[in-house]
């Protein structure tokens, strides 16, 4: 009863946040002949400048104005929105004018503690046994119907890849608990804008050293609601450190961007801005657990900007348990994620109500109910769980970050194909999860292990005459290498067919016959790579 009351109060707060209409509009110009001075944009169009100045409206760019040609204009509290949308539409050289809509985060927390007996399993994080979405042995209680293996096979996936330390994953959300030990040393810092009161990198944001807060317009994106800390931890919580939880990705960096306020809602202009920021500052994956019901050209432009820069954009289907389309999930070029329960059925309802939305734009589903994670108010309280497509989305984003860690040359389209093709189909409710694509489960429940198996090992480019090296194959005790030239110091690397590196040695390869002992390599099929600064070649080999 207590829990129901708490959830109802949360829903009320969220609804209130949504109903508070922001008096802002977004304008995109057709031509880029507008200049900035003194922090103001001069359009060169007298009518526009007069309208802006006479109305007392404030305006700010979305993304890099020179590229996006898009501004957000904040109206005065008493202004009529529709009146000004029409006034701005009447101006010359305007591509579109739209309301700056409000979207909301797609997850709700328990806000209650729950007692569990920690059982240490692989990895050694204290509460790994609660992370049924990663590894579900069928024994977890208190989370509804449980079926073993209705998970993403993370314990197998980690055998292939645990994440590239140099990769950046952006999570535009309510922010993050910046001091949390589960992300110590793993929060992205902007090397081009140290904290000195100066906008060193000239992007219009002063000292955006640890991301940005688009809600309060400052450089401290600390979480004041909890949604972002949970979502970020799902992707990136430190694994194998003996505390808390294991993130999907053990090594990469989190870019913290705050676009949702303390009621879990935020403007489309903040969302769009955060997307441009993430792309321009090197993020390879954007995980956005936010949805709004209205189509927006400005948000679509930002999503397409990410796609055109080969940045993967993952978003949530939202939680109404119907076929309502939310954005950004409804845009093309987004990988859209629904939620499953611990028995592989589409979540309906979540622990608090609602259900995972469905429709033709869904790509895959992933575990999203009773998802325990990091707290935004404590470094030691690990008893918060959340439910929503918000939680399924970062799980898929995390899997994608592992795929890109294994092979950074993958395109967004390749990633989407692999995520779809490797998903487990026909595992859910037979009435919904029919063979192949269906609107409830998309192509199926994401499977990290299968996805990583399907990622080809980094394409090997031949950088020298391919006749340089011949090898005996199959291989017994020793690898016999015939080289037509002296290659010098060369790495000899062996990968499993899944792409996991299992062996590496350095050899000084001379002209003629060379021999390297491989007696410790188990029998099987492998990929063998020769690699030095002038030469790279790979062979498929059989070890007897």
Separation in Å, CA 475 to CA 104, 457, 524, 528: 58, 21, 10, 11
Please select the residue that binds Ca ion; options are 224, 425, 498, 529, rule is CB under 5 A. 425
Give 227 or 346: the residue with its C-beta nearer to Ca ion. 346
Rounded to whole angstroms, the Cα distance separating 497 from 135 reads 23
Q: Which of residues 485-504 bind Ca ion (CB under 5 A)?
A: none
Q: Which of 439/460 has CB closer to Ca ion?
A: 439
In 3D space, the residue among 152, 170, 168, 405 whose CA is nearest the CA of residue 287 turns out to be 170
Find the binder of Ca ion among 46, 149, 196, 515 (CB under 5 A): 196
Neighbours of 517 (CB within 10 A): 10
Only one of the segments 38-46, 200-208, 413-421, 516-524 lies at the binding site for Ca ion (rule: CB under 5 A); that segment is: 200-208
- For Ca ion, which residue of 87, 137, 199, 218 counts as binding (CB under 5 A)? 199
From candidates 43, 70, 174, 203, binder to Ca ion by CB under 5 A? 203
Task: Provide, rounded to whole angstroms, the least separation between the CB of residue 190 and Ca ion.
Answer: 7
Select 182 or 529, whichever has its Cβ closest to Ca ion.
182
Largest interatomic CA distance in the chain? 85
Question: Using CB under 5 A, which of 207, 363, 424, 498 touches Ca ion?
Answer: 207
Residue closer to Ca ion (CB basis): 301 or 433: 433
The site string for Ca ion over 441-460 (x = CB under 5 A, - otherwise) reads x-------------------
Q: How many Cβ atoms are within 10 Å of 185's Cβ, its own excluded?
A: 8
Stretch that binds Ca ion, among 113-121, 430-438, 477-485, 494-502 (CB under 5 A): 430-438
Return all residues near 473 (Cβ < 8 A) that are at least 6 apart. Answer: 539, 541, 542
Residues 260 and 288 sit within 8 Å (Cβ to Cβ): no
Q: Which of 264, 189, 256 is nearest to 224 (CA)?
A: 264
Q: How far is the CB of 78 from Ca ion (least distance, A)?
A: 34
Strand residues in 230-306 grouped as ranges (E): 253-258, 265-267, 285-288, 290-291
- Of 401 and 483, which CB lies nearer to Ca ion in the complex structure? 401
Range 377-387 burial, b when 16+ CB lie within 10 A, else e: eeeeebbbbbb
Binding piece for Ca ion, criterion CB under 5 A, among 70-78, 93-101, 371-379, 424-432: 424-432
Give the residue numbers marked as catalytic.
173, 227, 390
Task: Select from 363, 438, 498, 529 the one that contacts Ca ion (CB under 5 A).
Answer: 438
| Residue 205 in the binding site for Ca ion (CB under 5 A) | yes
Q: Minimal CA–CA distance to 250: which of 164, 366, 185?
A: 164
Size of the site for Ca ion (CB under 5 A): 18
List alpha helices for 75-133, DSSP H.
81-89
Residue in 198, 466, 497, 506 binding Ca ion, rule: CB under 5 A: 198
- Taking CB under 5 A as the rule, does residue 433 contact Ca ion? yes
Query: Binding mask 117-146 vs Ca ion (x if CB under 5 A, - otherwise)?
Result: --------x---------------------
Task: Determine if 208 is a binding residue for Ca ion (CB under 5 A).
Answer: yes
CA-nearest of 315, 366, 361, 316 to 340 is 366
Q: Sheet containing 488-496: give its strands across.
A: 501-509, 488-496, 524-532, 535-543
- Residue 249 tokens read as 């990705």
The helix (run of H) or strand (run of E) holding residue 346 is: none
Q: What separation in angstroms does the CA of 501 have from each of 252, 378, 449, 526, 528?
A: 19, 38, 16, 10, 10
| Minimum CB distance to Ca ion, residue 134 (Å) | 12
Q: With respect to Ca ion, which residue has the nearer C-beta, 125 or 498?
A: 125
Q: Report if residue 280 touches Ca ion, rule: CB under 5 A.
A: no
Residues 233-272 that bind Ca ion (CB under 5 A): 238, 241, 244
Query: Smallest gap, in angstroms, from Cβ of residue 432 to Ca ion?
Result: 8
Beta strands in 284-387, from DSSP E residues, in sequence order: 285-288, 290-291, 312-316, 335-340, 364-367, 371-373, 384-387
Per-residue binder mask for Ca ion (CB under 5 A), 164-193, x = binder: -----------------------------x
Q: For residue 256, which of 210, 314, 291 has the smallest C-alpha distance?
A: 210
Smallest distance from Ca ion to CB 9, Å: 31
The yes or no reply on residue 363 touching Ca ion (CB under 5 A) is no
Smallest distance, Å, CB 41 to Ca ion? 18
Nearest distance from C-beta of residue 150 to Ca ion, angstroms: 14
Give the separation between CA 289 and CA 315, rounded to whole angstroms. 6
Q: Which is nearer to Ca ion, 170 or 487 (CB)?
A: 170
Based on CB atoms, which residue is closest to Ca ion, 146 or 441?
441
Q: Report, in Å, the least distance between residue 20 CB and Ca ion.
A: 29
User: What is the nearest approach in angstroms of Ca ion to the Cβ of residue 45?
Assistant: 28
Of residues 191 and 522, the one with the C-beta less far from Ca ion: 191
Q: How far apart, in whole angstroms, are the C-alpha atoms of residue 103 and residue 106?
A: 9
Residue found under tokens 């994670």:
373
Residues that bind Ca ion (CB under 5 A): 125, 193, 196, 198-201, 203, 205, 207-208, 238, 241, 244, 425, 433, 438, 441
């Amino acid at each position: 009863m207590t829990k129901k009351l708490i959830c109802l109060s949360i829903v009320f707060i969220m609804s209130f946040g949504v109903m508070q209409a922001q008096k802002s509009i977004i304008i995109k110009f057709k031509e880029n002949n507008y200049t900035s001075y003194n922090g103001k944009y001069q359009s060169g169009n007298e009518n526009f400048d007069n309208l802006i100045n006479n109305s007392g409206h404030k305006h700010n760019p979305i993304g890099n104005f020179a590229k996006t040609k898009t501004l957000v204009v904040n109206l005065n509290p008493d202004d009529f929105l529709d009146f000004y949308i029409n006034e701005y539409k009447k101006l010359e050289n305007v591509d579109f004018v739209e309301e700056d809509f409000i979207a909301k985060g797609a997850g709700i927390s328990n806000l209650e503690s729950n007692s569990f007996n920690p059982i240490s399993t692989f990895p050694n994080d204290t509460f790994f046994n609660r992370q049924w979405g990663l590894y579900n042995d069928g024994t977890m209680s208190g989370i509804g119907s449980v079926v073993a293996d209705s998970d993403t096979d993370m314990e197998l996936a980690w055998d292939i890849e645990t994440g590239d330390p140099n990769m950046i994953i952006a999570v535009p959300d309510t922010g993050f608990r910046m001091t949390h030990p589960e992300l110590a040393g793993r929060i992205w810092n902007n090397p081009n804008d140290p904290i000195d009161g100066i906008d060193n990198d000239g992007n219009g944001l002063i000292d955006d050293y640890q991301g940005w807060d688009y809600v309060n317009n400052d450089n401290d994106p600390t979480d004041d609601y909890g949604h972002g800390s949970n979502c970020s931890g799902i992707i990136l919580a430190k694994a194998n450190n003996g505390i808390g939880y294991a993130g999907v990705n053990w090594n990469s960096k989190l870019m913290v961007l705050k676009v949702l306020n303390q009621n879990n809602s935020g403007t489309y202009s903040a969302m769009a801005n955060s997307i441009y920021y993430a792309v321009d500052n090197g993020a390879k994956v954007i995980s956005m657990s936010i949805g709004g019901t209205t189509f927006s050209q400005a948000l679509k432009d930002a999503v397409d900007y990410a796609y055109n820069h080969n940045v993967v954009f993952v978003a949530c289907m939202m939680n109404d348990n119907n076929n309502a389309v939310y954005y950004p999930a409804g845009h093309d070029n987004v990988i859209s994620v629904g939620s499953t329960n611990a028995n592989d059925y589409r979540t309906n309802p979540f622990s608090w109500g609602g259900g995972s939305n469905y429709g033709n734009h869904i790509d895959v589903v992933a575990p999203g109910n009773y998802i325990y994670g990091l707290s935004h108010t404590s470094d030691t309280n690990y008893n918060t769980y959340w439910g929503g497509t918000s939680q399924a989305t970062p799980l898929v984003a995390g899997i994608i970050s592992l795929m890109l860690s294994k092979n950074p040359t993958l395109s967004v389209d390749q990633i989407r194909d692999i995520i779809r093709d490797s998903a487990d189909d026909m595992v859910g409710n037979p009435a919904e999860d029919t063979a192949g694509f269906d609107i409830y489960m998309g192509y199926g429940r994401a499977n990290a292990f299968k996805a990583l198996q399907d990622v080809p090992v980094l394409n090997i480019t031949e950088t020298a005459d391919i006749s340089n090296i011949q090898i005996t194959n199959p291989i017994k005790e020793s690898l016999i290498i015939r080289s037509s030239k002296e290659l010098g110091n060369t790495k000899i690397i062996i990968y499993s067919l899944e792409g996991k590196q299992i062996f590496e040695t350095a050899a000084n390869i001379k002209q003629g016959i060379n021999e390297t002992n491989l007696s410790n390599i188990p029998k099987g099929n492998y990929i063998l790579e020769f690699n030095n600064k002038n030469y790279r070649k790979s062979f498929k080999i059989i070890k007897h």
